[in-house]
Structure 1
Amino acid sequence: MILLLDLGNTRLKFALLDGDEFIRRGAFGWDADIAHELSALWGSWPMPQRIVGASVVDDTRETAVTVAARKAFDLEPGWVRTPAQACGVTNAYAEPHRLGVDRFLAMVDALAAGRAPCVLASVGTALTLDALDGRGHHLGGWIAPGPLLMQQSVLGATAQVRPEHAGAVRDLANNTADGLASGCWQACAALVDRFVERAAPQLGGGPALTLGGGDADTLAPLLDHDVVLVPDAVLRGLAVWSRAHARAGDIA
């Protein structure tokens, strides 16, 4: 069994992989006492043979997770860092390590699952977009603020935009709260649709569009293109990575 860790900007997700199945899952927001909460939970879980993690957060949060893993299992995570090429996926970045490992692993999952060629969109703190061709070549992507971060940016930079309640997405909003929510969510939807159109010629004309991230369910209905929701893409990519690197013991 392998314990897989996905350290995202908003929360930590984890799953225990036994063969091809996730037999245990969990998640915590970073406002929790991660080291304590994890060690308490993991203390009741079966013992994994390895722990493999992907992180886009700072060393402090990685260390807290490592402390929990040591306490619960007497094991330390092996952290996957973004490579130039692995598991059939070729990174488009000239400096491969600057591509977020979460984006790379989502492409690993997409290729392994037979979804390429495709556009991969993930919406959370950030909105990320990547184009992956049928041979596993990453063609590049875009990064923008996610819809909630967009709203926070407007609120932080203005004196009079102070809605008293959370807004709803409307075609034509008639109040500030709904106007702010509608503008930010629709801006993200439009960006995804435009990226699909720009990437399509290099992806055979009609690429599949997959959507993941914590806000995927909210964004999906706003898109003009058909979309396939792919939850846990990073954990699934980690599972592919872990199996591919099991013999060599090559984690980083």
Structure 2
Amino acid sequence: MILLLDLGNTRLKFALLDGDDFIRRGAFAWDADIAHELSALWNGWPSPRRIVGASVVDAARETAVAVAAGKAFDLEPTWVRTPAQACGVSNAYAEPQRLGVDRFLAMVDAFAAGRAPCVLASVGTALTLDALDADGRHLGGWIAPGPLLMQQSVLGATAQVRPEHPGTVRDLADNTADGLASGCWQACAALVERFVDRAAPQLGGAPRLTLGGGDADVLAPMLDRDVTLVPDAVLRGLAVWARTHAPAPDIA
């Protein structure tokens, strides 16, 4: 068994991999006492042979998770850092390590699952977009604020935009709350549509669009094309990576 860790900007997600299945899983927001909560939860879990993690957060949060793993399992996590190439996927970045490991692992999952060629959109704190061709080549991508971060940015930079309640996405809003929510969510939807159009010629003309991240299910209905929702893409890509890079005697 392998314990997989996905340290994202908003929360930590984790799963215990046994063979091809996640037999235990969970998540905590970063405002929790991570070290305490994790060690308490994991003390009741079966002990993994290895712990493999992917992180886009700071060293302090990585350390807190590692401390919890040490207390519960007496194991240190192995942290995956973005490579130039792995698991059939090649990285488009000239400096490979600057591509977020979460984006790379989502492409590993897509390639292993046979979804390439595709456009991968992840909707969370940031909106990330990546093009992956049929041969596993990452062709590049875009990064923008996610819809909620867009709204927070407007509120932080203005004096009079102060909605009294969360807005609803509408075609034509007649109040500030709905106008702000509608503008930010539809801006993200339009950006996804534009990226797919720009990437399509290099992806065979009609690439599959996959959507992941915490807000994927909200954005999906706003898009004018078929969408494949892929929850836990990072954990699934991490599972592929962990199996591919298993020590010789370790069969998970």
The residue matched to 2:129 in structure 1 has which SS? strand
1:193-204 to structure 2, matched below 5 A, reads 193-204=193-204
Residue 152 of structure 1 is matched in structure 2 by 152
Shift of residue 143, structure 1, vs aligned partner? 0.1
Equivalent residue number for residue 226 of structure 1: 226
AA in 1 matched with 2:2: I
Aligned-residue CA RMSD (Å): 0.8
* 2:12 is aligned with 1:12: yes
SS in 2 for 1:236: helix
Which position in structure 1 is the counterpart of 2:43? 43
Whole-angstrom distance in 1 between the partners of 2:247 and 2:148: 42
Distance (Å, rounded) in 2 between the aligned partners of 1:222 and 1:86: 34
One-letter identity of the residue aligned with 1:168 = T
Find the aligned partners of 1:199 and 1:248 in 2 and give their Cα distance: 39
Note the alpha carbon deviations across 1:193-240, whole angstroms, 9 max, x for none: 000000000000000000000000100000112100000000000000
| Residue in 2 that maps onto 1:187 | 187
Mapped partners of 1:122, 1:108: distance in 2: 14
Partner of 1:139: 139
For the residues of structure 1 that align with 2:57 and 2:186, how far apart are their CA atoms? Answer: 28
Unaligned 5+ segments in structure 2 are: none
Cα deviation, residue 247, structure 1: 2.8
The residue aligned with 2:247 is 247
Match of residue 113 from structure 2: 113
Secondary structure of 1:220's aligned partner = helix
The residue number in structure 1 matching 2:29 is 29
CA distance in 1, matches of 2:225, 2:152: 27
Number of aligned residues: 249
Q: Which residue does 2:66 correspond to in 1?
A: 66
Q: Within 1, Cα distance between the matches of 2:6 and 2:199?
A: 28
Q: Separation in 1 of the partners of 2:30 and 2:134? A: 36
Once residues 55 and 222 of structure 1 are traced to their aligned partners in structure 2, the CA distance between those partners, rounded to angstroms, is 30
Counterpart amino acid of residue 121 in structure 2 = A
Structure 2 CA distance for partners of 1:92 and 1:168, relative to 1, 3 Å: same
Aligned match of 2:126 = 126
Aligned to 2:172: 172
SS at match of 2:161: coil
Counterpart residue number, 1:163: 163
Secondary structure of 2:235's counterpart equals helix
Structure 1 vs Structure 2: percent identity of aligned residues? 87
TM-score (normalizing by structure 1) = 0.98
* Partner in structure 2 of residue 76 of structure 1: 76
